[in-house]
Amino acid sequence: MNVHVTGEQVGEERLSTAQPSSSPNQAPISAKGHRTRRKLLDAAQIVFERDGFLNTKIADISREAGVAHGTFYTYFDSKTEIFRILVAEVMEMVYNTQITPGDGSDLTPRQKVERGNRQWVKVVHQHRAMLRLLEEVATFDDEIFAMRLRVRVESAERIRKSIERWQQKGIARTDLESGPMAGALVSMVSNFTYFWLMLGESDYDDETAIRTLTELYASALQLPGDP
Protein backbone atom coordinates (compact mmCIF):
# COMPACT_ATOMS: atom_id res chain seq x y z
CA MET A 1 0.00 0.00 0.00
CA ASN A 2 1.57 3.28 -1.08
CA VAL A 3 -0.51 6.19 0.05
CA HIS A 4 1.42 7.01 3.16
CA VAL A 5 2.45 10.55 4.12
CA THR A 6 4.38 11.36 7.26
CA GLY A 7 7.27 13.37 8.66
CA GLU A 8 7.94 17.08 8.90
CA GLN A 9 6.55 17.89 5.45
CA VAL A 10 3.08 16.42 5.94
CA GLY A 11 0.45 18.85 4.75
CA GLU A 12 2.74 21.28 2.93
CA GLU A 13 1.42 20.41 -0.50
CA ARG A 14 -2.01 19.26 -1.56
CA LEU A 15 -2.48 16.06 -3.47
CA SER A 16 -2.75 16.71 -7.21
CA THR A 17 -5.75 14.43 -7.55
CA ALA A 18 -8.50 16.22 -9.40
CA GLN A 19 -11.84 14.49 -9.42
CA PRO A 20 -12.76 12.83 -12.70
CA SER A 21 -15.04 14.87 -14.89
CA SER A 22 -18.77 14.44 -14.66
CA SER A 23 -20.63 12.28 -17.10
CA PRO A 24 -20.94 13.90 -20.56
CA ASN A 25 -24.64 13.07 -20.38
CA GLN A 26 -25.03 15.23 -17.31
CA ALA A 27 -27.03 18.45 -17.61
CA PRO A 28 -26.43 21.38 -15.25
CA ILE A 29 -27.21 20.08 -11.77
CA SER A 30 -29.82 21.70 -9.55
CA ALA A 31 -29.62 21.77 -5.77
CA LYS A 32 -31.85 18.70 -5.70
CA GLY A 33 -29.62 17.08 -8.30
CA HIS A 34 -26.55 17.69 -6.16
CA ARG A 35 -28.30 15.99 -3.25
CA THR A 36 -29.22 13.01 -5.41
CA ARG A 37 -25.68 12.78 -6.76
CA ARG A 38 -24.34 12.83 -3.20
CA LYS A 39 -26.78 10.09 -2.20
CA LEU A 40 -25.48 7.95 -5.05
CA LEU A 41 -21.87 8.56 -4.05
CA ASP A 42 -22.57 7.70 -0.41
CA ALA A 43 -24.53 4.62 -1.44
CA ALA A 44 -21.76 3.53 -3.79
CA GLN A 45 -19.20 3.74 -1.01
CA ILE A 46 -21.38 1.56 1.22
CA VAL A 47 -21.87 -1.05 -1.50
CA PHE A 48 -18.24 -1.05 -2.66
CA GLU A 49 -17.01 -1.50 0.90
CA ARG A 50 -19.55 -4.25 1.54
CA ASP A 51 -19.34 -6.20 -1.73
CA GLY A 52 -16.05 -5.17 -3.30
CA PHE A 53 -15.59 -3.48 -6.65
CA LEU A 54 -16.03 -6.49 -8.94
CA ASN A 55 -19.19 -7.75 -7.24
CA THR A 56 -20.90 -4.36 -7.08
CA LYS A 57 -23.68 -3.72 -9.58
CA ILE A 58 -25.19 -0.37 -10.52
CA ALA A 59 -28.58 -1.74 -9.50
CA ASP A 60 -27.17 -2.34 -6.00
CA ILE A 61 -25.97 1.27 -5.77
CA SER A 62 -29.31 2.64 -6.98
CA ARG A 63 -31.19 0.45 -4.53
CA GLU A 64 -28.98 1.55 -1.63
CA ALA A 65 -29.51 5.19 -2.61
CA GLY A 66 -33.27 4.71 -2.89
CA VAL A 67 -33.46 5.95 -6.49
CA ALA A 68 -34.55 4.43 -9.78
CA HIS A 69 -31.94 2.43 -11.66
CA GLY A 70 -31.89 4.89 -14.55
CA THR A 71 -31.22 7.82 -12.23
CA PHE A 72 -27.65 6.60 -11.81
CA TYR A 73 -26.89 7.37 -15.46
CA THR A 74 -28.04 10.95 -15.07
CA TYR A 75 -24.93 11.56 -12.97
CA PHE A 76 -22.41 8.83 -13.80
CA ASP A 77 -21.46 6.74 -16.82
CA SER A 78 -20.42 3.60 -14.98
CA LYS A 79 -19.48 2.09 -11.66
CA THR A 80 -15.85 2.68 -12.61
CA GLU A 81 -16.45 6.41 -12.91
CA ILE A 82 -18.24 6.67 -9.56
CA PHE A 83 -15.51 4.61 -7.91
CA ARG A 84 -12.81 6.90 -9.29
CA ILE A 85 -14.63 9.92 -7.92
CA LEU A 86 -14.94 8.27 -4.51
CA VAL A 87 -11.24 7.46 -4.48
CA ALA A 88 -10.40 11.07 -5.32
CA GLU A 89 -12.64 12.24 -2.47
CA VAL A 90 -11.07 9.85 0.01
CA MET A 91 -7.58 10.93 -0.98
CA GLU A 92 -8.56 14.56 -0.47
CA MET A 93 -9.91 13.69 2.99
CA VAL A 94 -6.70 11.84 3.77
CA TYR A 95 -4.64 14.90 2.92
CA ASN A 96 -6.99 17.33 4.64
CA THR A 97 -6.52 15.47 7.93
CA GLN A 98 -2.76 15.83 7.79
CA ILE A 99 -0.72 18.39 9.70
CA THR A 100 -0.80 21.94 8.36
CA PRO A 101 2.32 23.94 7.53
CA GLY A 102 4.01 25.54 10.50
CA ASP A 103 2.36 23.34 13.10
CA GLY A 104 4.65 21.89 15.73
CA SER A 105 7.70 24.04 15.09
CA ASP A 106 8.70 23.43 18.71
CA LEU A 107 8.73 19.65 18.24
CA THR A 108 11.91 17.64 17.86
CA PRO A 109 12.44 15.65 14.63
CA ARG A 110 11.53 12.41 16.41
CA GLN A 111 8.35 14.00 17.77
CA LYS A 112 7.43 15.17 14.28
CA VAL A 113 7.94 11.67 12.92
CA GLU A 114 5.84 10.23 15.75
CA ARG A 115 3.08 12.75 15.14
CA GLY A 116 3.02 11.98 11.42
CA ASN A 117 2.87 8.23 12.03
CA ARG A 118 0.11 8.65 14.60
CA GLN A 119 -1.94 10.72 12.19
CA TRP A 120 -1.44 8.19 9.41
CA VAL A 121 -2.60 5.30 11.61
CA LYS A 122 -5.71 7.32 12.46
CA VAL A 123 -6.40 7.97 8.77
CA VAL A 124 -6.05 4.29 7.87
CA HIS A 125 -8.44 3.33 10.67
CA GLN A 126 -11.00 5.81 9.30
CA HIS A 127 -10.66 4.94 5.61
CA ARG A 128 -9.28 1.41 5.63
CA ALA A 129 -12.02 -0.09 3.44
CA MET A 130 -11.68 2.40 0.60
CA LEU A 131 -7.89 2.42 0.82
CA ARG A 132 -7.87 -1.35 0.55
CA LEU A 133 -10.22 -1.19 -2.44
CA LEU A 134 -7.97 1.40 -4.06
CA GLU A 135 -5.08 -1.03 -3.77
CA GLU A 136 -7.10 -3.84 -5.32
CA VAL A 137 -8.61 -1.87 -8.19
CA ALA A 138 -5.24 -0.32 -9.04
CA THR A 139 -4.17 -3.74 -10.30
CA PHE A 140 -6.57 -3.54 -13.27
CA ASP A 141 -7.66 0.10 -13.66
CA ASP A 142 -5.05 2.35 -15.24
CA GLU A 143 -6.48 5.61 -13.86
CA ILE A 144 -6.62 4.31 -10.30
CA PHE A 145 -3.11 2.90 -10.70
CA ALA A 146 -1.88 6.30 -11.90
CA MET A 147 -3.51 7.96 -8.89
CA ARG A 148 -1.92 5.42 -6.54
CA LEU A 149 1.49 5.94 -8.10
CA ARG A 150 1.15 9.73 -7.99
CA VAL A 151 0.35 9.63 -4.28
CA ARG A 152 3.39 7.44 -3.70
CA VAL A 153 5.70 9.78 -5.62
CA GLU A 154 4.38 12.92 -3.95
CA SER A 155 4.59 11.35 -0.49
CA ALA A 156 8.19 10.30 -1.02
CA GLU A 157 9.05 13.75 -2.35
CA ARG A 158 7.72 15.44 0.78
CA ILE A 159 9.73 13.14 2.99
CA ARG A 160 12.83 13.64 0.85
CA LYS A 161 12.60 17.39 1.44
CA SER A 162 12.27 16.82 5.18
CA ILE A 163 15.31 14.56 5.21
CA GLU A 164 17.36 17.09 3.27
CA ARG A 165 16.45 19.88 5.71
CA TRP A 166 17.47 17.66 8.60
CA GLN A 167 20.70 16.78 6.80
CA GLN A 168 21.45 20.47 6.30
CA LYS A 169 20.90 21.04 10.01
CA GLY A 170 23.26 18.19 10.85
CA ILE A 171 20.61 16.06 12.56
CA ALA A 172 20.13 13.30 9.94
CA ARG A 173 22.68 10.97 8.39
CA THR A 174 24.35 12.16 5.20
CA ASP A 175 26.07 8.97 4.06
CA LEU A 176 22.93 7.86 2.20
CA GLU A 177 20.97 9.76 -0.46
CA SER A 178 17.71 11.38 0.63
CA GLY A 179 15.62 10.02 -2.27
CA PRO A 180 16.13 6.30 -1.69
CA MET A 181 15.81 6.80 2.07
CA ALA A 182 12.47 8.57 1.59
CA GLY A 183 11.18 5.82 -0.68
CA ALA A 184 12.24 3.10 1.74
CA LEU A 185 10.59 4.85 4.69
CA VAL A 186 7.34 5.34 2.75
CA SER A 187 7.34 1.64 1.92
CA MET A 188 8.05 0.62 5.50
CA VAL A 189 5.22 2.57 7.06
CA SER A 190 2.62 2.13 4.31
CA ASN A 191 3.14 -1.60 3.85
CA PHE A 192 3.21 -2.19 7.59
CA THR A 193 -0.15 -0.45 8.04
CA TYR A 194 -1.56 -2.17 4.96
CA PHE A 195 -0.93 -5.67 6.30
CA TRP A 196 -1.69 -4.71 9.90
CA LEU A 197 -4.87 -2.65 9.53
CA MET A 198 -6.29 -3.46 6.09
CA LEU A 199 -5.56 -7.17 5.84
CA GLY A 200 -5.70 -7.88 9.57
CA GLU A 201 -2.38 -9.73 9.61
CA SER A 202 -1.71 -8.84 13.26
CA ASP A 203 -3.56 -7.36 16.22
CA TYR A 204 -0.96 -4.89 17.45
CA ASP A 205 -2.32 -2.09 19.58
CA ASP A 206 -1.91 1.39 18.11
CA GLU A 207 0.63 2.63 20.62
CA THR A 208 2.95 -0.33 20.12
CA ALA A 209 2.76 0.01 16.35
CA ILE A 210 3.29 3.78 16.34
CA ARG A 211 6.23 3.56 18.73
CA THR A 212 7.85 0.80 16.66
CA LEU A 213 7.42 2.65 13.38
CA THR A 214 8.74 5.87 14.87
CA GLU A 215 11.82 4.26 16.40
CA LEU A 216 12.68 2.40 13.20
CA TYR A 217 12.13 5.56 11.14
CA ALA A 218 14.25 7.72 13.44
CA SER A 219 16.96 5.09 13.75
CA ALA A 220 17.18 4.72 9.97
CA LEU A 221 17.83 8.45 9.67
CA GLN A 222 20.06 8.46 12.77
CA LEU A 223 18.01 11.27 14.28
CA PRO A 224 19.14 12.39 17.73
CA GLY A 225 17.22 11.13 20.75
CA ASP A 226 14.84 13.42 22.59
CA PRO A 227 16.20 15.12 25.72
Average pLDDT over residues 29-49: 93
Q: DSSP letter at 4? A: -
Of 2-11, 144-153, 196-205, 210-219, least confident by mean pLDDT is 2-11
Contacts of 209 (CB under 8 A, 6+ apart): 121, 192, 193, 196
Torsion of CA 35, 36, 41, 43, to 10 degrees: 110
Could you tell me which residue, 147 or 63, shows the higher pLDDT?
Answer: 63
Percent of the chain at pLDDT > 70 equals 82
Asked if 120 and 155 count as a contact pair (C-beta separation under 8 A), the reply is no
Q: Is the pLDDT of residue 177 over 50?
A: yes
User: Which pLDDT score is estimated for 3?
Assistant: 54
Of 124-138, 146-160, 179-193, 201-215, least confident by mean pLDDT is 146-160
Could you tell me which residue, 41 or 27, shows the higher pLDDT?
Answer: 41
CA distances from 205 to 5, 193, 210, 212 (A): 21, 12, 9, 11
- pLDDT per residue over 68-124, tens digit each? 999 999 999 999 999 999 999 888 777 665 554 345 568 899 999 999 999 999 999
Domains and CATH numbers, the chain: 31-77 (1.10.10.60), 86-221 (1.10.357.10)
Could you tell me which residue, 181 or 154, shows the higher pLDDT?
Answer: 181
Average pLDDT over residues 132-144: 93
Length of the chain as a residue count: 227
Q: Please state the φ and ψ torsions of residue 166, each to the nearest 5 degrees.
A: -65, -35
Could you tell me which residue, 9 or 185, shows the higher pLDDT?
Answer: 185
First and final C-alpha spacing in the chain: 34
- The mean predicted confidence, pLDDT, of the chain is 85
User: Which pLDDT score is estimated for 106?
Assistant: 82
User: Which pLDDT score is estimated for 148?
Assistant: 86
CA distances from 131 to 11, 64, 69, 207 (A): 19, 21, 27, 22
Could you tell me which residue, 5 or 68, shows the higher pLDDT?
Answer: 68
Average pLDDT over residues 11-18: 37
User: Which pLDDT score is estimated for 11?
Assistant: 32
In whole angstroms, give the CA distance from residue 78 to residue 88: 16
User: Which pLDDT score is estimated for 97?
Assistant: 59
